Structure 1
Amino acid sequence: MVNPNATTTTERGRDILVRALRSQVDLDVAYTQRRGHAADLAREAAREGIDLVVTLGGDGTVNEAVNGLMTFDSGPAGGRAQERPALAVVPGGSTNVFARALGLPSDWAEGTGAILEALRDRRERIIGLGRADDRYFTFCAGLGLDAEVVRRVDQARHKGSTSTPWLYFRATMTQLAATNRRVPLLTIELPGETAQTGLAWMLVQNTAPWTYIGEKPVDPNPRASFDTGLDLLGLRELQVGGAARTMVQLVAGRRSPKGKQVVRMHDLPGFTLTAARPIAYQVDGEYLGEVDKLDFASVPGALRVVC
């Protein structure tokens, strides 16, 4: 499954990749043509009994493919990894968080070599996923600040800008400057516990890191793992000065955010986030619109991945 608009590959490179994979497996190639097409292709592959789906693209392509694999039987399938195709990810985007979290190289050519080696050795692992309502995610979801940043980046890319760390940094600083105290406040509800209210931003991680700035991992919840439940980081305030310092600390990798304004939780099986009014949200770096409520769940043992 190839995204022809993958940021870091060329047509010649894609041809080399296809030939290399065909030396190891019986391969059919399909090119995505629209948003959501990767999910349709993966879902159909699962229905046809295909044993392996390979993606060439960024985290958005991977997310769509995962959602197709997880819902091929007409609904959320839970943690039955052996009942669906394995997934192999060749990094072709600008960041490739999921592939790198699996320990794969960020370069598509080196990533192809790693996948071929794993196929020869029959090497795979089973990972857990996160789910926000009926949308699965591989590494993160967010409500508020980071989702607004993703929206700004998407708008800039549609106008011709290239996705770079600098573009994300500018979008973050612009969004912080535009944020005021009227930001819709969030509430987290856990089964059997008192709800926590008055939160201005929520980040949910299924693994670490959250993202990368170039080669540097940004790791606000370093204990997050594919093998545990969901980790959560919330901020009670988004005043420009304090929030900017927090973002700089995260990017610099000096320390994880601490203080009274920080809410941190580890290894959660599920929870609900509600907002005072609709707020932007994203999964795996893909802006999905605005919501005022999301039910989150950890889905252990969900997916086989070749790595």
Structure 2
Amino acid sequence: MSKLSPIRFIINPTSGPRNKVDVAARINLLLDQTKYKPDIVYTTHAGHAPELAREAAEAGYEVVVAVGGDGTMNEVAKGLLHSDTALGILPRGSGNGLARHLQIPLQLDKAILALNNGVKSRIDSGSINGHPFFTTAGIGFDAYISSVFAGNKKRGLQTYVELILKEIRKYKHLPVTVTINGQSISTDCFVMAFANAAQYGNNAYIAPLADIRDGLLDVCLIRQLDFVKALNLSYCMLAKQLANADSAEYFKTTNVEIETEEPMMFHADGEFIGKAKQFEVQTLPLSLHVILPST
């Protein structure tokens, strides 16, 4: 009899829809236990998931599965960076940006079944001021919305859109100096997004040409945003198209350095990190193993 591969499921008990299902019971029912030996653990506090993931990687687990939203995915993936242990995802959040990019089923039972015959691959990750990210990071308005969203009791896409519509007219662009591809640019900045994957989540494509394995970040710079530009940008994000040149500018690069006159908010994978006046953003090529659905 072949040896079973150890697989750890790290469940964020606060993630997921209101009509809760017993995730552990579904795992035990649907996971191929002639192949995997499951170990199910629960996070109890912020920063717990990286510890649990790192512990499993050091113990030689083949796969560690993040069960939750993009925040849980980010924390689990951080604990697996540069290891031989692969990240699996059971998406239970509102955005599920990396799961969507990797074409992992969003329905729980289908996502569990996809693990049974999953294929191991590698993807890039990124880093903003030392904080890893796997879909997108950013400074400016999207980080501001992340900070407001984090303190909101209501979750989901509708809440996110309502916040954007409420806050967009209040937020002012700020001057920045950007060094990218050997060129220094002094400009206004409403949003600067750094995309490893193509979308934020919810199929909102900030960088539709982003390739998660090309060793590059796709940078989207929005200098200023008025109502007409906002409409164009929103349509293009939902239509998976590049925005018009007068609405956004795009760059491909391995690293970006930014200086600001005032502290600016920043986020990693939609999780608000804090404020800074200097930013260093870089790509970490093929730094994370992931489990993809077999085709």
TM-score range, shorter chain: 0.7 to 0.9
| Residues 246 and 35 of structure 1, relative CA distance in 2, 3 Å threshold | farther
Matching residue within 163, 181, 190 for 2:180: 190
The amino acid that maps onto 2:255 is G
CA separation in 2, counterparts of 1:28 and 1:197? 50
In structure 2, the partner of 1:103 is 103
Residue deviations 1:93-124 (CA, integer Å, cap 9, x gap): 12211111111111121111111221xxxx21
Please provide the CA RMSD for this pair: 2.0
1:230 to 2:195 alignment = no
TM (norm. structure 2) is 0.88
Identity %: 24
Equivalent position of 1:59 in the other structure:
70
Contact 1:179 1:238 in 2 (8 A): no
- Aligned in 2, Cα 1:147/1:235: closer, same or farther, shift over 3 Å? same
Relative distance call for 1:255 and 1:226 in structure 2 (3 A) is closer
Which of 3, 13, 18 matches 1:4? 13
Task: Output the CA distance in 2 between the equivalents of 1:252 and 1:22.
Answer: 37
Deviation of residue 255 (structure 1)? 4.2
Supply the distance in 2 between the matched residues of 1:174 and 1:35 (Cα, whole angstroms). 28
Q: Is the 8 A contact 2:32 2:116 kept in 1?
A: no
Cα displacement (A) at 1:209: 2.4
Query: Which residue does 2:276 correspond to in 1?
Result: 291
SS class of match (2:198)? coil
| Structure (1/2) with the larger helix percentage | 1
Task: Name structure 1 gaps, 5 residues minimum.
Answer: 71-79
Asked if 1:27 corresponds to 2:27, the answer is no
Give TM-score scaled by structure 1 length: 0.84
Of 133, 137, 152, the residue aligned with 1:156 is 152
Partner of 1:27: helix, strand, or coil? strand
Q: Which runs of 4+ in 1 moved over 6 A?
A: none
Higher strand share: 2
- Partner secondary structure for residue 151 of structure 2: helix
Cα-to-partner distance string for 1:261-294 (whole Å, 9 max, x where unaligned): 522112x111112222111111111111212222
Q: State the match for 1:145 in structure 2.
A: 141
Who is 1:92 aligned against? 92
Amino acid at match of 1:256: L
Report if the CA contact (8 A) 2:229-2:247 is conserved: no
* Aligned counterpart, 2:7: none
Q: Give the conservation status (yes or no) of the 8 Å contact 2:225–2:247.
A: no
Give the 3-state SS of the residue equivalent to 1:156 in structure 2.
coil
- C-alpha separation in 2, matches of 1:11 and 1:294: 41
Structure 2, gaps ≥5 residues long: 1-9
Residue 73 of structure 2 aligns to a residue whose secondary structure is helix
Q: Secondary structure at the match of 2:242?
A: coil
**Deviation, structure 1 residue 144:** 0.9
Deviation for aligned residue 1:247: 4.2
